[in-house]
Chains A and B, each alone.
Chain A
Amino acid sequence: MSTSLPPRFTKILENTQKKIGLITGLVPWVLTHQDLSGMNILVDPDTGHITGVVDWADATIEPFGMALWGLESVLGCSGPNGWSYFGSDPSYSYFGSDPSYSHFGCNPSRSRALFWKTLLTEIKCIISDKCRYAVNEVRTLVVLHRYGFHWENGTWNPVKDTAYLDVFLKDEIKLAEESHKLEGTE
Chain B
Amino acid sequence: MSDLFETQNEVTQDDCDMYAQNLLKGSVIPIPWQGFHSYTVQSSSGLIIQFRSKESPFDSSTTKLAKQVHGDLAPATTYHGLMPNSSVSVWVMEIIAGVGYMFTASTITIAKLDITVTDFAKWVSYIIKSICAAS
Interface of A with B (CB < 8 Å)? 28, 30-31, 33, 37-45, 47-60, 64, 68, 70-71, 73-75, 77-79, 86-88, 111, 114-119, 122-125, 127
Contacts and interface: CB of A to CB of B under 8 A. Distances in A.
B110 A86 contact: yes
Given A57-B58, A114-B117, A119-B121, A48 B112 contact: yes
A51 B97 contact: yes
Interface of B: 33, 35, 38, 52, 56-59, 62-63, 65-66, 69-70, 72-75, 77, 93, 96-105, 107-129, 131-132, 135
Nearest to A75: B117
A62 B111 CA distance: 33
Contacts of A79: 105
B122 A118 contact: yes
Contacts, number: 165
Contacts of B65: 31, 59
| Residue from A53, A54, A70 whose CB has the most chain B CB atoms within 10 Å | A54
The 10 closest A-B pairs by CB, nearest first: A48-B112, A38-B102, A51-B98, A52-B96, A122-B125, A42-B98, A118-B121, A125-B132, A48-B115, A56-B66
Nearest to B122: A122
A125 B130 CA distance: 10
Which DSSP category, helix, strand, loop or mixed, fits chain B's interface?
helix
Contacts of A43: 98-99, 101, 104, 116
| Residue from A33, A37, A48 whose CB has the most chain B CB atoms within 10 Å | A48
Given A41-B101, A45-B107, A57-B62, A87 B113 contact: yes
A41 B70 CA distance: 13
Nearest to A119: B121
Given A52-B97, A116-B121, A118-B117, 17 more contacts: A33-B66, A38-B100, A38-B103, A39-B101, A42-B101, A48-B111, A50-B98, A50-B119, A51-B73, A64-B128, A71-B120, A74-B101, A75-B117, A86-B108, A119-B124, A125-B129, A125-B132
A119 B120 CA distance: 9
A31 B64 CA distance: 11
